[in-house]
Amino acid sequence: MSKSDSPARGTVAATKVEMTEIVMPNDANPLGNAMGGRVMHWIDVCAAVSAGRHARTPVVTASVDNIDFHNPVPVGGIIVLLASVNYTGRTSMEVGVKVWQEERSTGNRNHVASAYLTFVSLDPETRKPREVMPVEPQTDDEKRRWAAAKQRRELRLLHRKS
């Protein structure tokens, strides 16, 4: 994709990441399915790329709200992770990640897991939090996710105070 084909900086579209993995035997638990910890690792990596695309700085994981697992993925299965920045604070960003299993023969996808992660942008030299530009939701779905993320942020801040 050339620079002229890229979505405008500051939009949710500019933060989108699609990452694909094949579940290998060393990724599996004794039942022959992807270990939850391995899926969590892939979620964190995918989300970090999304946050980094927006911030254009190093980013670090500040929190994970929750990860809900819905379906197992067997060894040999294809996992597709989709991530984008939902909301930005002053120095932080919420990234939503949805994980799918893709059927090789049909291309159909089954929902595996979902997660919300918060990342903080860091100044590359001082490694202190650095302000990020606001993300601008464009579509109705992006605006809905932005509003929901804002509510989750308010809840996070309430929990932090208590």
pLDDT of residue 12: 96
Query: pLDDT tens across 79-133, in order?
Result: 999 999 999 999 999 999 999 999 999 999 999 999 999 999 999 999 999 999 9
CA-CA distance, 134 to 132, in Å (whole number)?
A: 6
Domain residues for 51?
3-161
Query: pLDDT tens across 9-28, in order?
Result: 999 999 999 999 999 999 99
> Is the Cβ–Cβ distance between 113 and 141 less than 8 Å?
no
The pLDDT confidence band at residue 36, using thresholds 50, 70 and 90, is very high
pTM confidence score: 0.92
- Dihedral of the alpha carbons of 3, 7, 12, 14, in degrees to the nearest 10: -20
Check which CATH number belongs to the domain holding 147 and give it: 3.10.129.10
Q: What is the mean pLDDT of the chain?
A: 95
What is the count of structural domains for the chain? 1
